[in-house]
Amino acid sequence: MDERKLCLMINERMPRGGLFTGAKEQIHPKSNAPWRIPPEPFRISQDELRWFERLGDHLLKFYKACNILYSQSVRGILPKWISEYLDIGKPPSLIEYSRIRRFKSHIPLVIRPDVIPTNDGMVITELDSVPGGIGFTANMMMIYSDLGYEIIGGVDGMIRGFERMIRKYAKVENPSLAILVSEESSDYWDEMMWLSRMLNKSGLKAFTLRPEEISFNENGIWIGSCCSRVKIDVIYRFFELFDLRNVPNSEIMMYMNRIGKVRITPPFKHFLEEKMLMAMLDHPELRRFWIRYLGRDSLKELLEAFPKTWIVDPTPLPPYGVIPDLSVGGLPVTSWDKLKEASQRERELILKLSGFSEMAWGARSVLVGHDVPAEEWRKAIERALASFPENPYILQRYHKGKLFRMRYYDFDRDEILLMEGRVRLCPYYFVWEDKAHLCGILATICPA
């Protein structure tokens, strides 16, 4: 089959809107997707696949170690500044809840890094423990697998992996799952509805609901009317912790979780959702800690993959102090104000919120230093400094992605065209039996 017909077939098999209900650019009326449809999936090498397969367990170790890092800081075994940074701007009730002993080993069961292939290797720009794209990626995997392509994870790897993860986590036979999608996360409603339908087809009782649709009594959390009620065993939390106060029934969920009437993932742990953890991995004072809890191999792999990261803290340094590995005009940076004077070349840096904000996800707060005028950069630094300590920013070294070429179908011209762009690879790891299983990879190419 020629590539044009392949793309049209893919379009026909795709749900209208592509399982995404958020803002979209104007698209051709015949296109079911708000993106360009390629005739084939993005390809990676065997060496790259092996790297991704290893990465899951490195990141699983990292999350486990971050649990210990925070706990030991709170207890005074490690420096207090660690937990103090991670607690900045968080409500006391959430901080207290995150420290409940029975949750001490809980980590996100879905791990999804954002990975940029560069000429020097793979770079992980951030980690997302409440990621969108699960249903969308699963749907794309099914479509391209049916066309004969060998897809990482297979035709139903995302569905089977998610189901296995929930069953293992539930600790009951034949569990019932509720995927709770908040108003703030409603752009992903369609894909989560699709995901629950696929999970039901695979044999797992699953429901996608608004938080206000659940009910409760002393025995737990339920859905449905009095005549056909279903008790929920596991809640998949598809809402952000910064939005907790706006999520109906959130306090009830947390209470039922605390007394063991329902299990909730990802856990209510603000500190595991902060990008500033990437800066702590490279802190010399914590070197022995990371070696002990990650091992030298995992630490080496993650240090190579994580970009150099700094926490933007306006606290004055002593006269002899410098911010490590940052320079302006050939001189070490001794205060963040000095960074305002950086040249365009010196501004090959990314500035973004660390977390716990409606602006911290979806690249809403991301600023690429060398892509903006000097005055805009200066104002961005001032904004980041003023945001501390309520909403801390981080600074990361910029790494340019490799260029790739992909063919796609143009609906207006009714032909296959070539696009040059840079790719972001998002592997989805689902955790069960103490292992992070690679179940699929989403590739997103943006025009260069």
Is residue 69 pLDDT above 80, yes or no? Answer: yes
CA distance 430 to 203: 18
Cβ pair 281, 302 in contact under 8 A:
yes
**Which DSSP state fits 201?**
H
pLDDT of residue 24: 59
Is residue 225 pLDDT above 70, yes or no? Answer: no
pLDDT of residue 358: 79
Answering whether pTM is above 0.85, one says yes
184 Cβ neighbours under 8 A, 6+ residues apart? 239, 240, 243, 246, 358
Tell me the CA end-to-end span of the chain in Å, nearest whole number.
Answer: 29
pLDDT of residue 15: 86
pLDDT of residue 428: 99
Instruction: Compute the residue count for the chain.
Output: 448
Tokens of 43: 């390809």
Can you tell me the mean pLDDT for 404-415?
96
Can you tell me the mean pLDDT for 145-157?
96
Q: What is the pLDDT of residues 387-400, one digit of tens each?
A: 999 999 999 999 99
Is residue 190 pLDDT above 60, yes or no? Answer: yes
pLDDT of residue 356: 87
Identify the weakest region by mean pLDDT among 97-111, 162-176, 255-269, 347-361.
347-361
